[in-house]
Amino acid sequence: MTETAALPPQTVLVFDFGAQYGQLIARRVRDLHVYSEIVPCDVTADEVRAMHPAAIILSGGPASVYADDAPSVDAGIFELGIPVLGFCYGQQIMAVTLGGAVGHTEKGEYGPAPLMRLDGVCGEEAGAEAEAVVPRSELLGDTPCSQTVWMSHRDAVSEVPEGFVVTSRTDVCPVASMECPERRLYATQFHPEVRHTPYGNDMLKNFLFDICGLEQSWTMDSIIEDSVAAIREQVGTDRVILGLSGGVDSSVVAALCAEAIGKQLTCVFVNHGLLRKNEPEEVEEVFTNQFDVDFVHVHAEDRYAELLAGVTEPEKKRRIIGEQFWKEFFAVAEELADDGRPVKFLAQGTIYPDIIESGARKTGGKASTIKSHHNLIPFPDGVHFELIEPLDHFFKDEVRALGTALGLPDHIVHRQPFPGPGLAIRIIGEVTPEKLEILKNADAIVREELDAYNESLFEQTGVRGGELPRDEAGGPEVERPVWQYFAVLPDVRSVGVMGDERTYQRPIILRAVESSDAMTADWAKLPYEVLARVSSRIVAEVQGVNRVAYDITSKPPATIEWE
Counting every residue written for the chain, the total comes to: 563
What gap in Å lies between CA 439 and CA 424, rounded to an integer? 10
Q: Cα 238 from chain centroid?
A: 31
Closest CA to 40 of 370, 351, 363, 395: 363
Compute the distance between CA of residue 136 and CA of residue 121 in angstroms, rounded to an integer.
Answer: 5
Cα–Cα dist 55/61, whole Å: 19
| Helical packing angle, 396-405 and 220-235, nearest 10° | 90
Q: d(Cα 409, Cα 530) in Å, to the nearest integer?
A: 26
CB 534 within 8 A of CB 512: no
Cis peptide leading into 557, omega within 30 of 0?
A: yes
Q: Three-state DSSP class for 56? A: strand
Q: 191 an active-site residue?
A: yes
Whole-angstrom distance, CA of residue 371 vs CA of residue 355: 7
Question: DSSP labels for 289-322?
Answer: IIS-SEEEEEE-HHHHHHHHTT---HHHHHHHHH
160 three-state secondary structure: coil
Q: Is 95 exposed, middle or buried (0-12, 13-18, 19+ CB in 10 A)?
A: buried
Tell which residue, 420, 394, 251, 397, has the closest CA to residue 323.
420
Question: Which one is catalytic: 37, 41, 88, 145?
Answer: 88
Asked about 257 being catalytic, the answer comes back as: no
**Residue 267 annotated among the catalytic residues of the structure:** no
* Cβ 521 vs Cβ 515: under 8 Å: yes
| Catalytic one of 179, 193, 259, 389 | 193
Please tell me which residue in 153, 191, 196, 272 is annotated as part of the active site. Answer: 191
Scored b (16 or more CB within 10 A) or e, 200-218 reads: bebbbbbbbeebbebeeeb
What kind and span of H or E run contains 501? strand 501-514
- The C-alpha atoms of residue 53 and residue 80 are separated, in whole angstroms, by 10
Strands 185-188 and 177-180: antiparallel
Q: Which residues are catalytic?
A: 88, 191, 193
